[in-house]
Chains A and B, each alone.
Chain A
Amino acid sequence: MITVNGKPEDADGITVTALLARTGYTPQQVAVERNEEIVPRAQYDTVMLHDGDTVEIVRFVGGG
Chain B
Amino acid sequence: MQTEDTLVLGGHTFHSRFILGSGKYSLSLIEAAVKYAGAELITLAVRRANTKEQESILDFIPEGVTLLPNTSGARNASEAVRIARLARELGCGDFVKIEIMRDSRYLLPDNAETVKATEILAKEGFVVMPYMYPDLNTARDLVNAGAASVMPLASPIGSNKGLATKEFIQILIDEIDLPIIVDAGIGRPSQACEAMEMGAAAVMCNTALATAGDLPLMAEAFRQAVEAGRKAYLSGLGRVLLRGAEASDTLTGFLHD
Contacts and interface: CB of A to CB of B under 8 A. Distances in A.
B46 to A, nearest CB: 5
Contacts of B82: 33, 36
Contacts of A41: 89, 91
- Taking residues whose C-beta sits less than 8 angstroms from the other chain, chain B's interface range is 35 or more
A25 to B, nearest CB: 6
Interface string B132-167: 000000000000000000000000011000000000
A29 B204 CA distance: 26
A41 B30 CA distance: 28
Contacts, number: 97
A31 B27 contact: no
25 contacts: A24-B51, A25-B51, A26-B54, A29-B56, A29-B58, A29-B90, A32-B89, A38-B85, A41-B89, A56-B86, A58-B48, A59-B46, A59-B53, A60-B67, A61-B44, A61-B47, A63-B22, A63-B43, A63-B206, A64-B21, A64-B22, A64-B70, A64-B157, A64-B184, A64-B207
Interface of A: 5-6, 23-26, 28-33, 36, 38, 40-41, 56-64
Interface of B: 21-25, 27, 30, 43-49, 51, 53-54, 56-58, 67, 69-70, 72, 82, 85-87, 89-92, 157-158, 184, 204, 206-207
Lowest 6 CB-CB distances: which A-B pairs, in order? A63-B45, A64-B206, A64-B21, A31-B89, A62-B22, A62-B23
